[in-house]
Amino acid sequence: MGLVVQKFGGTSVGSVEKILNVAECVREEKLKGNNVVVVVSAMGKTTDHLVSLAKEISAQPNKREMDMLLTTGEQTTIALLAMALTQKGLPATSFTGWQAGIITEPVHGNARITKINSEAIKSQLSEGKVVIVAGFQGVTEIGEITTLGRGGSDTTAVALAAALDADKCDIYTDVTGVFTTDPRYVKNARKLLDISYDEMLELANLGAGVLHPRAVEFAKNYNVKLVVRSSMEKIEGTVIEEEATMEQNLIVRGVAFEDEITRVTVLGLANSLTSLSTIFTTLADHHINVDIIIQSTTESNMTNLSFSIKTDDLNETLNVLEDYKELLKYERIEAENHLSKVSIVGSGMISNPGVAAKMFEVLAANQIQVKMVSTSEIKVSVVVEEKVMIKAVESLHDAFDLSEENE
């Protein structure tokens, strides 16, 4: 008898009918003779609805109370799915994140899992029950309820698969696998049969919404077999593994994109050895994620520093920088909104020089101005205006032969 962890996202459990469909998927896996742990998200747009309710009361709701509010979404789903499985004759037990023993760091809104006490889950599995766990949530060592950030149910599922030494972790979504880019925006996007952990991690970090980055980190670190597949169609999905075996002729494996990016520029920083460390340590202490960074030195020996953040973090970033102006010693701050980030990813870049040059040539040919650039061994990211984001994605997708017709 094996152990399989299944994860179903919000669109897969968005109605009673869909929850009944999930119950049937679980039943089929159970009939194969496997023990099953199921991780679910909140139904459909439940989380968005809860956020909007909070925003009606406060423009900046208390983070602790937001965690208390948002975790109710998954609690609804686990109870309904347990009822559906019971109706099908399968004994099932539902657990919230804290009942399942998911321990996190003491950070509200974006906590990381530190350990999992899996005794309660193992006890129920030993009795032949299906265990249903609320994704996206956990508890601190002192009993404070936390959430893992949007998309955190993926992380819950893979972390449980690692803790329970599961045979595999199936991530069920509303798409049939991992595509070369988002098929909702680019019609000729192609599904990949497999992709490496490193490539998937880059794509996830760069905006590909099919998997949460921390989930891929867990899978890579603990060698969890991960499969992304459809909750509605019974077809082969995409396998995420250490080394992808198929389609190695593709230098670029995917194009990722992310909107609502803002460029913040800090002008007139003192040109000292500690200026950069001070400013980024200050932002990190307030849990503000900084992405692309550009530094320049002026003729008057001052430093100008630009970095990109999510637009949602802009107000907090400006407040932090203003609060620490005396410490940071800068002259003024400028912010540019309505930007996006477009990235190409592929392990083939390591051994194929000229990929970045081709990317810039393609963007220039399409009259797309590049505002910021970031590179690694297997990716190149550019910041462009939001209004040309999809045009950039489509042109790069075609230029690197990723379309279906190029199979």
Q: The tokens 């910021």 sit on which residue?
A: 372
Per residue in 347-366, pLDDT tens?
A: 888 888 899 999 999 999 99
Q: H or E element: which one contains 87?
A: helix 63-87
**Cβ(390)–Cβ(185) under 8 Å?**
yes
pLDDT above 80 (res 245): no
Per-residue pLDDT, averaged over 87-104, amounts to 97
Amino acid at 271: N
Task: Name all domains of the chain by residue range, CATH numbers in brackets.
Answer: 3-174 (3.40.1160.10)
Per residue in 193-238, pLDDT tens?
A: 999 999 999 999 898 888 888 899 989 999 999 999 998 888 999 9
pLDDT above 90 (res 118): yes
- Residue 404 has a pLDDT of 66
d(CA 388, CA 192): 26
pLDDT above 60 (res 240): yes
Per-residue pLDDT, averaged over 331-341, amounts to 96
* Best CA proximity match to 121, nearest among 84, 153, 94: 94
**Cβ(244)–Cβ(194) under 8 Å?**
yes
- Residue 347 has a pLDDT of 87
Q: By percentage, how much of the chain surpasses pLDDT 90? A: 81
Average pLDDT of every residue of the chain: 93
Per-residue pLDDT, averaged over 359-380, amounts to 96
Distances from the Cα of 180 to the Cαs of 12, 234, 294, 373, in angstroms?
A: 22, 21, 29, 21
pLDDT-derived band at 164, boundaries 50, 70, 90? very high
Per residue in 9-27, pLDDT tens?
A: 999 999 999 999 999 999 9
pLDDT-derived band at 303, boundaries 50, 70, 90? confident
**Which tokens is 329 given?**
């010693």
- Residue 249 has a pLDDT of 64
pLDDT-derived band at 135, boundaries 50, 70, 90? very high
Task: Fill in the DSSP letter of residue 14.
Answer: S
Q: Please write down the HEC assignment for all residues of 307-364.
A: EEEEHHHHHHHHHHHHHCHHHHCCCEEEEEEEEEEEEEECHHHHHCCCHHHHHHHHHH
Q: H or E element: which one contains 92?
A: strand 92-95
Per-residue pLDDT, averaged over 77-87, amounts to 98
Identify the weakest region by mean pLDDT among 7-11, 243-247, 268-272: 243-247
pTM: 0.83
Per-residue pLDDT, averaged over 398-406, amounts to 81
Distances from the Cα of 89 to the Cαs of 7, 86, 92, 95, 368, in angstroms?
A: 21, 5, 9, 19, 58
pLDDT-derived band at 271, boundaries 50, 70, 90? confident
Three-state DSSP state, 17: helix
CA-based radius of gyration for the chain: 23
Angle at 164 between CA 160 and CA 166, to 5 degrees: 90
